[in-house]
Chain A
Amino acid sequence: MNSIRVLYRHFLFRIVDLDALAPLADTHKLLGRVAFVLVMLSLTFVVQAFTLGSISNLPAQVGLVLAWAGEHFLIATTMLVTGILAVLSWDSTFPTKRDLDVLGPLPVLPSAIFAAKAAAVGSALGLVILLLHAIPGLIWPAVLHSMSKEQPVLALTYGPRIPVPDIDRLKPVLDRSLADALRPGGALGTESNGGLVIGVADRGQRRVFAYGSAKPETIFPIASVSKTFTALMLARMATDRRTSLNEPLRALLPPGTVARPGGAEITLLDLALHRSGLPAMPDNLKIASRDGPAIDYGIGKLFSFIGGHGVSKRGTPAFDYSNVGYALLGQALAQRQGVSYEELLRREITDPLGMRDTGVAVNDSNRERIIPGRRLRGGTAKPVALDSLTPAGGILSTAGDLLNYIEAQLKPDAAIALSHRLRADMAPGYKMGLGWIHSSAHGVYWHNGGLPGYSSYVFFHPGRGFGGVVLLNQGPEFGTLGDLLGDHLRARLAGEPAVSLDSVTIPAPGGFTGVLRYAAAYWITMICGGAFVFFAILAVQGLAMQLLPWPWFLKASSVMQLTILCILLGGSLLQPALPGPHVLVRALNEGPLYWSPSYWFLGVFQQLAGSPALAPLAWRAWTALAAVLLIVAVSYLLSYWRTLRKMAEAPDIVPGGKRRHWLPRFGSPLATAVAQFSIRTLMRSRQHRLILAFYWGIAFTIVLLVTKSPAIQKRLGAGDNVWTEPNVAAILASVLVCWFAVLGARMAAVLPIALPANWIFRASPVPGGVRTLAAVRRALYAMGPVQVWLVFALLFLSTWPWRAAAGHLVLLALLTALAAEVSLLKFGKIPFTCSYLPGEGRSPLVFFVYLFGMLYQTQVSALHLWLLENPVWLAVAAGVLLMVIAGVYWWNRRKAEVNVEFEDEPQRTIVALDLSRDGTPLR
Chain B
Amino acid sequence: MLELREVRKHFAGIPAVDRVTFNVHPGEVTGYLGPNGSGKSTTMKMIAGLMEPTDGEILYRGQPVRSDLIGFKRVLGYVPEEAHLYPHLSGHEYLTLVSQLREIPAKVAGEKIDGLLRLLSLTGDRHSPISNYSKGMRQKILLAAALMHDPEVILLDEPFSGLDAATALILRSLIQELARRGKVILFSSHELETVERVSTRVIILHRGKVAADDSIASLRNLMALPTLEEIFVQLAVEEDMAAVSRGIAELIRRQDGSLEQGPAV
Identify the A interface with B (CB < 8 A). 652-658, 660-661, 665, 668-670, 672-673, 676-677, 680-681, 684-685, 753-754, 756-757, 759-767, 907, 909-912
Contact = CB atoms under 8 A, between A and B. Distances in A.
A766 B90 contact: no
B115 to A, nearest CB: 17
Contacts of A685: 88
A669 B100 contact: yes
A680 B94 CA distance: 11
Contact of A656 (B86, B97, B129): B129
A757 B86 contact: yes
Contacts of B128: 653-656
A812 to B, nearest CB: 31
A661 B100 contact: no
Interface in B68-118: 70-71, 73-74, 76, 78, 80, 82, 84-90, 93, 96-104, 106
B49 to A, nearest CB: 7
Contacts of A911: 12
B49 A763 contact: yes
B264 to A, nearest CB: 23
A656 B98 CA distance: 20
Given A656-B129, A657-B127, A907 B11 contact: yes
B246 to A, nearest CB: 27
A760 B14 contact: no
A465 to B, nearest CB: 69
Contacts of B145: 760
Nearest to A660: B127
Nearest to A904: B50
B60 interface: no
9 A-B pairs with least C-beta separation: A656-B127, A673-B100, A756-B84, A764-B101, A656-B128, A765-B73, A684-B88, A653-B132, A669-B100
A753 B86 contact: yes
A919 B125 CA distance: 62
Contacts of B88: 680-681, 684-685, 753-754
A655 B125 CA distance: 7
Contacts of A669: 99-104, 106
A764 B85 contact: no
A673 B82 contact: no
B46 to A, nearest CB: 12
B140 interface: no
B16 interface: yes
Contact of A760 (B101, B127, B129): B101
A222 B70 CA distance: 85
Contacts of B93: 661, 676, 680
B121 interface: no
Nearest to B127: A656
Interface of B: 11-14, 16, 48-51, 70-71, 73-74, 76, 78, 80, 82, 84-90, 93, 96-104, 106, 125-129, 132-134, 145
Contacts of A756: 82, 84
Nearest to B73: A765
B86 A765 contact: no
Contacts of B78: 763
Contact of B11 (A653, A764, A909): A909
Nearest to A665: B106
B73 A757 contact: no
Given A655-B128, A656-B128, A909-B11, A763 B76 contact: yes
Contacts of A660: 127
Contacts of B126: 656
A910 B12 contact: yes
Nearest to B74: A765
B95 to A, nearest CB: 11
A759 B97 contact: no
A672 B100 CA distance: 7
A670 B129 CA distance: 22
Given A656-B90, A680-B89, A766-B101, 10 more contacts: A656-B126, A656-B128, A661-B93, A661-B127, A677-B97, A681-B88, A753-B88, A759-B84, A765-B102, A910-B16
| Residue of A655, A658, A763 with most chain B CB atoms under a 10 A cut-off | A763
B8 to A, nearest CB: 14
A685 B16 CA distance: 37
Contacts of B85: 754, 757, 760
A653 B87 contact: no
Given A656-B90, A910-B16, A765 B71 contact: yes
9 contacts: A653-B128, A653-B132, A656-B125, A669-B101, A754-B84, A754-B85, A759-B84, A760-B86, A765-B71
Contacts of A680: 88-89, 93
A775 to B, nearest CB: 10
Contacts of B99: 669
B54 to A, nearest CB: 12
Contact of B101 (A656, A670, A754): A670
| Residue of B49, B80, B86, B106 with most chain A CB atoms under a 10 A cut-off | B86
A448 to B, nearest CB: 59
Contacts of A654: 128-129, 132
A762 B101 contact: no
Given A656-B90, A658-B127, A753-B88, A912 B48 contact: no
Given A763-B73, A912-B12, A670 B48 contact: no
